[in-house]
Structure 1
Amino acid sequence: MFLLLVTSFQVMAASPDFMTKEVKFVSNGDTLAGTIVKPAQPLAALVIVPGSGQEKRMMEFASLLAKNGIAVLTYDKRGVGESGGVYAGPEVGTNNVDSANLNLLSLDASAAVNTLKKDLADKSIQVGLIGGSQAGWIIPLTAKKNNSVSFMAIFSGALVTVREQLRFQFYTNNNADFWNSHSEEDARHHIFNDPDKYQLIDTDPLTALSKLSIPGLWIYGGRDIQVPVQLSIERLKTLKSKNGRYEYQLFPDLGHNTVFTEDQKPVETMIKWIKTIVSSTEKP
């Protein structure tokens, strides 16, 4: 089953003053491998949660964050690179969006949070989660499991169920010009009415998000053809009645990939938001 093009965080950064440390940690009986990238005096810390593909650790993005004063743990997704376990995904003919797999990946991210937090000399530093695409489902599940997570930073994360996202993605059929000939009303009709092509245990991100009180920022591209952005924003606004610290920013001319583009404003916006959050809020 295909789900979501991977949002690749391959952003080049100048060589800042930071250290790197190879680490291994255990999740659900499997050993995962990663790298901690840490400036001398971090103001915040982040675990990079992989998206839907066979993602190895994202060193370029981690270096960029470290250059901005953020300690980072980036790791090879389970079954990829130096990490143990079994990878699930369309490349190997298995289902990567069933509730069981998303929950497993959230356990991996939670174990990564514990590993990064243990490595920090200053235990008061806030630890957050950052990721894009499929990680938009995994991050809320992780935050619900692990009280050490203090904030969420999500690029192009769907705030709809897995089934709804799949219906939308199958309907757009990876057509870059989709929004030139289709309306929001038309897209929603298919999201709510199309038959499902696959049987799976569904996941609704609102279930976890409605129970969280930590800050979160979602970055969206207005021309996304994999995530129904307007519907996601609509549901996020409803969630704000329970958690007023959920925010979003829309970049109308961007698509699903809001990170690896010539426009660096989405990444800059996210980094600025993280710095503001950790300087103005106490850990919940």
Structure 2
Amino acid sequence: MKIKFCSKFYIGIFLLSFPLSVFSQSNNVIIHDIKFESQGITLAGSILLPKNPFAAVVIVHGSDPVKREMEFAKRLTKAGIAVLTYDKRGVGESGGIYVGPSVGTNNIDTTNLNLLSQDANSAVNTFRNYLKGKKMPIGLVGFSQAGWIIPIAASKDPKIAYMVLFSCPTISTLEQLRFQFYTNGNNHFWENHTEEDARDHIKNDPDRYQFVTTDPKATLNTLSIPGLWLFGEKDIQIPVKLCIEQLNTFKVQGKPFEYTLFSKLGHNTVSDQDTAPFDISIQWIKQKSLHSRTFKESK
């Protein structure tokens, strides 16, 4: 799995760079290229605005050096959701330094995860300013490593309405690494190992990296917004059943957290070949957006 980090800074600076913006329109979708500030650097992205959107989301990256997720964003806009997607820090047109596996480090320490969460918060602030006057909730949608980033970002912004997490961990960063080293990229891992094997290894394996671990349970415990996790049972990046166990504990405590498990899928739960996870996420966002609007109108 791919992963990243951050610290306790407040992201207050954001800027819509209208002189640098580019507008285009295609299939009733307006695409607006933007730039905004986060922690002293400029991030570049795009806003995709469909006709009559019912909700809005900011896309949060996994651990890869990913540019703005335009294809996934277009799938969302086709379903009626406004999207802000941006080039990850240090990637594409965004400033800063990218830290991650493809440059020789699994840097998922707390400092970097917090920094990436600040980028997400700046993106949300930018999007909120852009959508000013449009009454629609803004949520966070992310992949893999975003499972650590999104809860941190949501804890800093009480106006974030919901979160959708594709193949995202609910265990600590060090626990995830122990599991990932154990599976070692073996797609047939679950044919030769049991859940008990995996849990025993996660509990007892010595750590190969020394850094302050991030445990999303601490942040999730402070949140009361709806969350949806989508898992593939054959995942070899995160121990899915252990993650689900943590979510069930939160559900018993009354947290509005839900999940769906897909028995035939692995870590990639956003494939356009099997659209079930994506379709479920869209229906869920519609439901939560309707509830959010109804609640606000009744106040």
TM-score (ref. length: structure 1): 0.93
C-alpha deviation, 1:123, in angstroms:
4.3
1:85-137 CA deviation, whole Å, 9 max, x = no partner? 11111222344211110000000000000011111143431000001100111
RMSD: 1.6
C-alpha deviation, 1:229, in angstroms:
0.3
C-alpha deviation, 1:62, in angstroms:
0.6
Partner amino acid, structure 2, of 1:180: E
Equivalent residue for 1:130?
Answer: 141
Equivalent residue for 1:4?
Answer: 2
Equivalent residue for 2:98?
Answer: 87
C-alpha deviation, 1:58, in angstroms:
0.7
Tell me if 1:255 matches 2:284.
no
Tell me if 1:241 matches 2:252.
yes
Equivalent residue for 1:204?
Answer: 215
Tell me how far apart the structure 1 counterparts of residues 132 and 276 of structure 2 sit (CA, whole Å). 32
Aligned with 1:240: secondary structure?
Answer: helix
Q: Is the 1:152–1:217 Cα contact (8 Å) retained in structure 2?
A: yes
1:197-237 CA deviation, whole Å, 9 max, x = no partner? 00111000011100000000000000000100000000001
Tell me how far apart the structure 2 counterparts of residues 34 and 61 of structure 1 sit (CA, whole Å). 14
Q: 1:16 to 1:237 in 2, by over 3 A?
A: farther
Residues 62-77 of structure 1 mapped to structure 2, 5 A cutoff: 62-77=73-88
- Equivalent residue for 2:175, pick from 164, 179, 198: 164
C-alpha deviation, 1:244, in angstroms:
3.3
Partner amino acid, structure 2, of 1:108: D
Q: Is the 1:52–1:96 Cα contact (8 Å) retained in structure 2?
A: no
1:124-162 CA deviation, whole Å, 9 max, x = no partner? 310000011001110001000112211000000011000
Equivalent residue for 2:197?
Answer: 186
Partner amino acid, structure 1, of 2:280: T
Q: Is the 1:210–1:242 Cα contact (8 Å) retained in structure 2?
A: no
- Equivalent residue for 1:114, pick from 110, 125, 128: 125
Q: Is the 1:160–1:232 Cα contact (8 Å) retained in structure 2?
A: yes
Tell me how far apart the structure 2 counterparts of residues 192 and 137 of structure 1 sit (CA, whole Å). 20
Partner amino acid, structure 1, of 2:174: R
Aligned with 1:247: secondary structure?
Answer: strand
Q: Is the 2:3–2:108 Cα contact (8 Å) retained in structure 1?
A: no
Equivalent residue for 1:52?
Answer: 63
Q: Is the 2:68–2:85 Cα contact (8 Å) retained in structure 1?
A: yes
In percent, how many aligned pairs have the same letter? 55
Q: Is the 2:31–2:49 Cα contact (8 Å) retained in structure 1?
A: yes
1:11-62 CA deviation, whole Å, 9 max, x = no partner? xxxx641100011111111100000000122110000001101000011111
In the comparison of the two structures, how many residue pairs are matched? 274
Tell me if 1:273 matches 2:284.
yes
Q: 1:30 to 1:243 in 2, by over 3 A?
A: farther
Q: Is the 2:228–2:258 Cα contact (8 Å) retained in structure 1?
A: yes
Q: 1:95 to 1:255 in 2, by over 3 A?
A: closer
Q: Is the 1:17–1:67 Cα contact (8 Å) retained in structure 2?
A: no
Tell me how far apart the structure 2 counterparts of residues 120 and 247 of structure 1 sit (CA, whole Å). 28
TM-score (ref. length: structure 2): 0.88
Residues 33-52 of structure 1 mapped to structure 2, 5 A cutoff: 33-52=44-63
- Equivalent residue for 2:233, pick from 210, 222, 227: 222
Tell me if 1:153 matches 2:164.
yes
Q: 1:122 to 1:67 in 2, by over 3 A?
A: farther
Partner amino acid, structure 2, of 1:239: F
Tell me if 1:174 matches 2:163.
no
Structure 1: 5+ residue runs without aligned partners? Answer: 7-14
Q: 1:143 to 1:210 in 2, by over 3 A?
A: same
Q: Is the 1:219–1:266 Cα contact (8 Å) retained in structure 2?
A: yes
The answer to which of 26-35 and 16-25 deviates more is 16-25
